[in-house]
């Protein structure tokens, strides 16, 4: 059974700092990995999706990397802003079930002005 872990559970940084969020998974036979952002009381917003054949994806100040063999993904946020404050979740889809995502519990990020 796939298990997804996100550490730390919470992170507080000053504005402008670069930061890295971590996601690890136990079964390396994945189809893809997706990073989401969730604001309080809101739904999940897709940030980046990395296919299993890819090593990284970039969108603006965000860069997500994937190392399947070690079961790890990182989300790098450059020059953080107070508006980046949210909970960030990663989700993994395995090879055997095209629809079934396993989510981590998320990292709650606070960026202080």
Partner 1 sequence: DAGVIQSPRHEVTEMGQEVTLRCKPISGHDYLFWYRQTMMRGLELLIYFNNNVPIDDSGMPEDRFSAKMPNASFSTLKIQPSEPRDSAVYFCASTLGGGTEAFFGQGTRLTVV
List of residues contacting partner 1 (CB under 8 A): 31-32, 34, 36, 41-46, 49, 89, 91, 93, 97-106
Q: Which is nearer to partner 1, 73 or 102 (CB)?
A: 102
Q: Which is nearer to partner 1, 83 or 98 (CB)?
A: 98
What's the CA gap between 86 and 110, in Å, rounded? 7
Residue 105 near residue 9 (C-beta atoms within 8 A): yes
Q: Choose between 30 and 77: whose C-beta lies nearer to partner 1.
A: 30
Question: In the bound complex, what is the minimum distance in angstroms from residue 59's beta carbon to partner 1?
Answer: 12
**Residue (19 or 44) nearer to partner 1, CB:** 44
Question: What's the min distance (Å) between Cβ of 110 and partner 1?
Answer: 18
- Report the distance separating Cα 42 and Cα 65, nearest Å: 26
| C-alpha torsion sign, points 105, 98, 61, 83 | negative
| Least separation in angstroms between CB 18 and partner 1 | 26
Structure tokens at 78: 């450059």
d(CA 34, CA 46): 7
């Amino acid at each position: 059974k796939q298990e997804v872990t996100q550490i730390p559970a919470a992170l507080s940084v000053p504005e402008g700092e670069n930061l890295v969020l971590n996601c690890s998974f136990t079964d390396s036979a994945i189809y893809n990995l997706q990073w989401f952002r969730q604001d309080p009381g809101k739904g999940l917003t897709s940030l980046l999706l990395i296919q299993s054949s890819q090593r990284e994806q970039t969108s603006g100040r965000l860069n997500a990397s994937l190392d399947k063999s070690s079961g790890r993904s990182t989300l790098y946020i450059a020059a953080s802003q107070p508006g980046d404050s949210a909970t960030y979740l990663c989700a993994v889809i395995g090879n055997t079930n095209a629809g079934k995502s396993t989510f981590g519990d998320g990292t709650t990020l606070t960026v202080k002005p």
